[in-house]
Amino acid sequence: MKLHIASARVFAAAVLCMIGLALVIAGCGGGSSSSSTSSGGSTESSEGSSGGAAGEGSSSSESAFPKAAEANAEFEERPTTIGIETPVGKPIPKGKTIDFIQCGVPACKTEGELFESAASALGWTVNSINAGTTPEEIKAAYDQAIKDEPDAVLGSGYPRSLFNPELEELKAKNIPVIEFFVEEEAGNGITAVLGGIPTSETQGKMMADYILAHSTNESMEIGVVNAQGFETVTGTAASVEKVFSEECSGCKVKKLEAPLTAIGKDLPQRIASFLTANPGIEWTTVGYDDMVTGLPTALKGAGVENAKLTTVNISTSIAPYMANGEYLQSTVGSSFPEVYWRGIDLLARLFAGVEYKEDENDSTLPYWTVTKETLPTTEEEFPVVENYEEQFKQLWGVE
């Protein structure tokens, strides 16, 4: 199983599919990186300024920030529940057909398989529609769903601006639509959003709490690496800054705004240059796991020795960095299996005619801060909740 701690590869793939196109996604542009510095809630432009000498991290028991240490201690405990407690309680109709709008890169195939495994337990069928690699193809995929007239439509990572007319048609046909990992609100054709804005905010808080829990320096410098135009990553970065402004008034946040086009290309070098220019930075939050891939090599090549990193998501590509003590200290978030099975749980309740508000509450998703000490394996993907399938099936009354 893959631990995609929320936000991750599916919307990364979705957004990256659109790189280089004349896409009208706010903030998606520019081929250069920029940096800024903030302290006490204000932000000013900064070009490569440096701070004091980086200090050593501390254990949470030595933290100068007890509130953050307490919150972090809870997040470092591996969750044992999926966060949904109420059984469906009524017969769940069988034979439902669900269309999944699947982005056109191999990474998204895994997400379709998760939906299929959950739906099959209820006797449902999932039809994956290839959304290709262009805005036109994404729009066409939703058009295909309209023609299919399924019982529901699932989408992940795409902004509604690309298919808003199609949402209106689906709404007119009374076809529910659930979107995952988007910075959108439910309504106007979207029945529910899972892994949305609250998830981005929680992930940012988790990274900030982890840093503060392992720090004694009340005037430290923090680096935040953002991907311009990647809404969920930007939301998480904003949450990091918010926590530091509230809990460490003497801390300074220095931000690297990297273009989406740098991911999978020269982003490691950009981050290495950013940290070289700002040697006072003790900790750095990096958008999500794909933005960390290759970074230890770049940091070593640039002579950066004391950087400490945390990110959203963990995969077999970056887990060895953590296990081997190569800069990466923790990863945070919730995982795709639990989120996508929750989406099927929501549909089960909707079709059974029972309340599904419990599913919509992102705060009850199982979030986990993974560290070297708690990393289950570096060789295969894993969920947050080990027996999540069994727990959902119990709620549905199926074997």
Grade residue 133 by pLDDT with cuts at 50, 70 and 90: confident
Average pLDDT over residues 224-228: 94
Instruction: Look up tokens 């289950």; give the residue.
Output: 376
Grade residue 31 by pLDDT with cuts at 50, 70 and 90: very low
Grade residue 103 by pLDDT with cuts at 50, 70 and 90: confident
List the 97-102 sheet strands across, edge first: 125-130, 97-102, 152-156, 177-180, 192-194
When mean pLDDT is compared across 53-62, 173-182, 271-280, 365-374, the lowest value belongs to 53-62
For 145-198, write each residue's pLDDT tens digit: 999 999 999 998 888 999 999 999 999 999 999 999 888 999 999 999 999 999
Provide CATH code, domain 97-196+335-366+373-396. 3.40.50.2300
Instruction: Report pLDDT for 44.
Output: 32
Instruction: Report pLDDT for 61.
Output: 60
One fold for both 29-78+199-332 and 97-196+335-366+373-396?
Answer: yes
Domain ranges in the chain are 29-78+199-332, 97-196+335-366+373-396
For 196-217, write each residue's pLDDT tens digit: 999 999 999 999 999 999 999 9
Instruction: Report pLDDT for 32.
Output: 53
* Rounded Cα–Cα distance for residues 167 and 173 (Å): 10
**The pLDDT of residue 42 is above 60:** no
- CATH class of the region 29-78+199-332: alpha beta
